[in-house]
Amino acid sequence: MKIRQEEWESRGTVYIFYCEGCKTHHYADKRWSFNGDFEKPTFSPSILVEIGHYPKPNDICHSFVKDGKIQYLSDCTHHLAGQTVELLDEENYEDC
């Protein structure tokens, strides 16, 4: 599977996927729509992760997850900015 589903007390149902650009997991919760496909997931709208200190984060990961692929937007600060890659199998990564 490309994503896994968990129940978090603070967020309810979350869908977790591994981000190859950040080398960690990201998640989507009830704020995003999900197509229900765990092999070729699509979330909407885009997912923006900011890591660092407000107001200027040190690292940004901004992406669309569509049909099992991550489309990294050009404002990402990692090496996959501007590229589209297949989601990796989630069960191989356990940092979350």
What integer pLDDT is reported at residue 52 of this predicted model? 78
Report, as an integer, the average pLDDT of 70-81. Answer: 97
Strand order through the sheet with 4-8: 4-8, 12-19, 24-28
What integer pLDDT is reported at residue 95 of this predicted model? 55
Report, as an integer, the average pLDDT of 81-90. Answer: 94
The predicted-structure confidence for 5-51, as pLDDT tens digits, reads as follows 999 999 999 999 999 999 999 999 999 999 999 999 999 999 999 98
What integer pLDDT is reported at residue 53 of this predicted model? 73
What integer pLDDT is reported at residue 28 of this predicted model? 97
Question: Which whole-number Å values give the CA distances from 16 to 1, 8, 23, 68, 83, in the listed order?
Answer: 11, 11, 13, 13, 20
Domain regions of the chain by residue span: 4-92
